[in-house]
Copies of this chain bind each other. A is one copy, B any other.
Amino acid sequence: MQPIAAEGPMTTRLLVSAAEPARSALDCLLRPRSIAIVGASPQFAKINGRPLKHLIDKGYTGRLYPVNPKYSEIAGLASYPDVAALPEATDLAIVALPAREVEACIAALGRRGVAAAVIFSSGFGEMGADGKRVEQSLRACADAHGVVICGPNCLGFVNAFDNVYATFSQYADGDTGAGPVAFVTQSGAFGTAIAALVRHRGLGLGYFINTGNEAGVSFSDLMLAVIEDPRIRVAAGYLEGMRDGPGLIRLAQRCAELGKPLVLTKVGRMAAGVRAAASHTGSLAVEDDVFDAVLRQHGVLRARNEEQMLDMLEALCSDRVPHGGGLGIATQSGGAGVMMADHAEELDLEVPALAPETQAALAKVMPAFGAAGNPVDVTGQFVGNPDLLLESVVTLLADPQVHVGIVWLQLMTAYVDLLVGIFCQIRDRTDRPFIICWVAAPPEAVRRLRAEGMVVFGAGERAVEAAATMVRHRQILRVAAENRAERAALAAAVERVAADVCGDFSDGVQPTAQATAWLQAAGVPMAPVALARHGDEAQAAWRSFGGPVVLKIESPDITHKTEVGGVLLKLNDEAAVRQGFATLLKRARKARPEARLDGVVVQPMTAGQLELVIGVQRDPSFGMVLMVGLGGVLVEVLKDVVFRLGPFSEAEGLRMLDGLRVRTLLDGVRGQPAVDRAAIAALLSRLSIWAAAMAPRLDELDLNPVLVGPTGPVAVDCVMVFRGQGGG
């Protein structure tokens, strides 16, 4: 088990037997050697009857104890009148009781020494304020009695490796052969549907877990536990709300360490969706753009819906990994080839020109078609000459620039045997991953090919997306390794800043000169500022800067200075500066009579070819998040901003800039020189370190604009807001 078990909300570790090695409570939950079913029923169609039916039918080999005072025996097993009467302290209890009886049951389980419970019962947090109180009380009871709980209000879970069917989900009604996918879902109904779709694809779920209200173990706790199972190759999750950002990040990092992909779908992308999700799950809605960015930063593959999730899972369950980003396409239809090449371009997947030796080899295989490009059009001729398909695909996949292949064909209902045979030969003659895209395929062909471990899709663009997913996962692991290597240095940098920062930590808007000094000390390039408390000081500042200056009203109560006419530009003589000082004070007094006025900030004029907005905000789930975007009028229209959770490295800062849709602006347009991306990335990284160090106090920070000129970026305006010592 991972150290997270000691960090999360679930801190209990119980020794279930002195004779055995120590087992964690999560191990007892997910891989129980004995199970009590509290509220068990002999009516197998009912919620409280279904787990026992499945456990017996599917061959659970541990000990089973129905608990129900109404029966002395259920399905041939002795039934116990209550928890206290159980003949042993079981690893797991399934609780299928009315809501009002659940808390007492958990207490009894704790007294009996039961390690973990999965609670089906609804009537808790999902029912509004009253239900939330009941749930809090349940959670406190479970903690007090040392029982780890999954749920309440959940369908339970399946561990198909060990035939543990602690669930009443419809999913368990069908074939539940174990496979390499672990699927954890916050939704019962949608989750069951997705689990069934995984089965339809022939992928197989090793674990299927519905977390319900997560009063005890959370989504991340459960996924962290199952991802360690060596039989699991891919983690898939469905989220509706997200409270435990750090847990999710630990999960993503652990998956990357293990080299196992983590595919997540989260509903609530749009504003309307967030509202509905909030009312549905009661979770604190995380702004989805931030959620999305932080997930991707940590190597999560986000699927926009269940179909895309399934496609990703199918691609990632392949036991082959592409060693580069080149896609080779062999097709029976030129048009399908064009469509796939187009989509590859959209997904930044390369469809490389073939090496001369590949072309020569293809020309030998397909003499009628002359120079064969990529996509390779093999036509339908292979029906008469199977070698045509076999040799052309093997040749294509041998090209040095081709790292993953797609073979497109259609129908061929009469040639299933022939084609399955050809694909098996292709598989044996290459070690590169390839995807079979068989449109309107005979179902038997798909079944047989999947049984041979091959990846089969039914639509060309989706096959291309699958290839892109394979390539993307490889990139994710590389970036994750880089980030892992930098983690300690970043943490040390954060500690250094935290130890060094000193000054006045009052609440609210910080004085510009103070904020500027802090950021300058942190290595963030800031335009110099001088606070003038009267006209003489303003003139002196202008003289010291030796050129045109900007004057800005300085007040902890005025954060949007332009709204009160509080900024004057390009002042360049004594009279103008003195006059400007007076004007700003007059305007501010008129517009905001109640505002405390500290004076006027004097700053030299700065020019730049490009205007950025950089900010820090506190995300309720994740913490201090940086934002960078294009400044100026268009920022509001384009909403072209990129987020990252701090602290992060300069390399991550570069990737951040690469996420801007207008990133080509950074390379210079219309003859302008390219800006210094590395300098901007360094600014972002340093700011992220400073913000992380100041997380206890910093609430909000805006550098707007940051002007980028030939000498790099300079922040010319800064609004920094602290919150009270106790947090917001």
User: Residues on A close to B: CB < 8 A?
Assistant: 170-171, 173-174, 186-190, 192-193, 196-197, 200, 238, 240, 267-273, 276-277, 279-281, 304-307, 332-339, 341-342, 345-346, 351, 373, 375, 377, 379-380, 410-414, 439-440, 459-462, 633-634, 636-638, 661-662, 664-665, 669-670
Contact = CB atoms under 8 A, between A and B. Distances in A.
A336 B190 contact: yes
A238 B335 contact: yes
29 contacts: A170-B413, A171-B411, A173-B414, A189-B332, A189-B333, A189-B379, A190-B410, A190-B439, A193-B333, A193-B336, A193-B410, A193-B439, A193-B440, A197-B440, A238-B335, A267-B339, A270-B345, A273-B341, A273-B345, A276-B341, A280-B334, A280-B337, A307-B459, A633-B670, A634-B634, A636-B669, A637-B662, A637-B665, A638-B638
Contacts of A279: 373
B273 A339 contact: yes
A213 to B, nearest CB: 13
A60 to B, nearest CB: 23
A336 B307 CA distance: 13
A194 B305 CA distance: 24
Nearest to A187: B335
Q: Is the interface of A mostly helix, strand, loop or mixed?
A: helix
A280 B336 CA distance: 11
B273 A342 contact: yes
B338 A200 contact: no
Nearest to A377: B280
A200 B346 CA distance: 29
Contacts of A171: 411
B268 A342 contact: yes
Contacts of A636: 664, 669-670
Contacts of A186: 335
A333 B380 contact: no
Given A170-B413, A459-B306, A461-B305, A338 B439 contact: no
Interface hub of A171, A273, A633 (most chain B Cβ within 10 A): A273
A351 B273 CA distance: 11
A305 B460 contact: yes
A371 to B, nearest CB: 10
Given A270-B346, A273-B341, A636-B670, 19 more contacts: A170-B412, A171-B411, A186-B335, A187-B335, A187-B336, A189-B333, A189-B335, A190-B333, A190-B439, A192-B410, A240-B334, A272-B341, A272-B342, A281-B334, A305-B459, A633-B670, A637-B665, A637-B669, A638-B662
Contact of A187 (B173, B334, B414, B460): B334
Contacts of A460: 305-306
Nearest to A310: B459
**Which 9 pairs show the lowest CB-CB distances between chains A and B?**
A193-B410, A273-B342, A196-B440, A189-B333, A280-B334, A193-B439, A190-B333, A270-B342, A187-B335
A277 B272 CA distance: 41
A338 B305 contact: no
Contact of A196 (B173, B411, B461): B411
Interface hub of A200, A412, A637 (most chain B Cβ within 10 A): A637
B190 A351 contact: no
Contact of A633 (B193, B339, B661, B669): B669
Contacts of A273: 338-339, 341-342, 345
Contacts of A173: 413-414
B272 A197 contact: no
Nearest to A241: B335
A461 to B, nearest CB: 5
A193 to B, nearest CB: 4
Contact of A373 (B196, B276, B379, B461): B276
B339 A170 contact: no
Contacts of A380: 189
A276 B306 contact: no
Contacts of A346: 270
A460 B269 CA distance: 14
A482 to B, nearest CB: 29
Contacts of A337: 276, 280
Interface hub of A339, A346, A411 (most chain B Cβ within 10 A): A339
A463 to B, nearest CB: 11
B276 A375 contact: yes
Interface hub of A335, A377, A414, A637 (most chain B Cβ within 10 A): A335
A342 B267 contact: yes
